[in-house]
Amino acid sequence: MSLKEDINFSLWCDFIERDFLERQFQDLINDEVIQGATSNPAIFASSISNSVAYKQQLEILQANNAKTIYEELAMTDIKRAAEILEPMYKNDNDDGFISLEVDPTLCDDAQGTIEEGIRLYKSIGHDNVMIKVPATDAGYEAMEELTTQGINVNATLIFSPEQAINCAKALNAGMEKSITECKAVISIFVSRFDRLCDNRFGAKGIEKSKLGIINAVKCYHEINKFDNKNIRALFASTGVKGDELESTYYVDNLLYPNSVNTAPLATIEDYILNGSTEPSKIISEIECDEFFKMLAKHDIDINEIYDTLLSEGLEAFKVSFEELLTKLKA
């Protein structure tokens, strides 16, 4: 029995590129390796900058402003991915989704995020699209309104349990008001904790490469307390950089019931060859809390870590987006 059938665990691909959609993407779906996909401004920046597949459409669009060019390129890919994933979505509407993120410079503009989310969703015209919204105060407001309108949401850049709770509250409230069923995932970023903290932790004698998973599991438990079958925890930022860990470390240790893991293509390729096929042993909420207490005893301020990672994450998406817009009109 597959992990999907056994515990409703889904693996999504955190990558999109036009030629990939017509080849390997479809193979991964047909081989039942992946059940969905995600994108972000950094992924599109890389794909559009490095692939010749966009050249012809770019030339046609050059009379437009940079953001319009970006949206046309991105929506073409998102529409195609949605078409390819649609049979899966129709068979099981927990899966078969593709995500598109709103303009990251709108992260503190609730009304701007709502208007852009609605416009993008309607322009794409496929039910199996999720609008990706960062977990800021403005983002929570936007998440509630988008789900009220029956639009699927991928809440992103979640680092703290407080963010996870706020996302779940907003999504839950929107779904309760909506006359149309919609789905949502709450994307908890994992590996960035360990990249930020491992050297510091090693110097203090604290186990390395553990905080990311412990924190993600704590968020997972908080989301599940809402008992909403239409909201799933999604583990994101699950690629490994460097060679100290197995490349599938952040997938193998988070094979949890009713969850999603969105992983880079290289991680998925390694997972096919070497990844675990058994559900992970679930870390209890008590174990998570004990780990955080231990950090406090070592004078580790977890809230400072959360703030750093969120501000860095928001800034990185803005920079990627703005650099891409500049290149599109170069």
Residue 118 in contact with residue 149, Cβ under 8 Å? yes
| CA separation for the pair 41, 314 (Å, rounded) | 11
Residue 305 in contact with residue 197, Cβ under 8 Å? yes
| CA separation for the pair 24, 22 (Å, rounded) | 7
Please state, in angstroms and as integers, the Cα–Cα distance from residue 14 to each residue in 17, 40, 154, 231, following that order.
11, 8, 13, 19
How many other C-beta atoms are found inside a 10 Å radius of the C-beta of residue 267?
24
- How buried is 178 (Cβ within 10 angstroms: 0-12 exposed, 13-18 middle, 19+ buried)? middle
Mind telling me the catalytic residues? 132
For 46, residues 6+ apart whose C-beta sits below 8 A from its C-beta are none
- How buried is 285 (Cβ within 10 angstroms: 0-12 exposed, 13-18 middle, 19+ buried)? middle
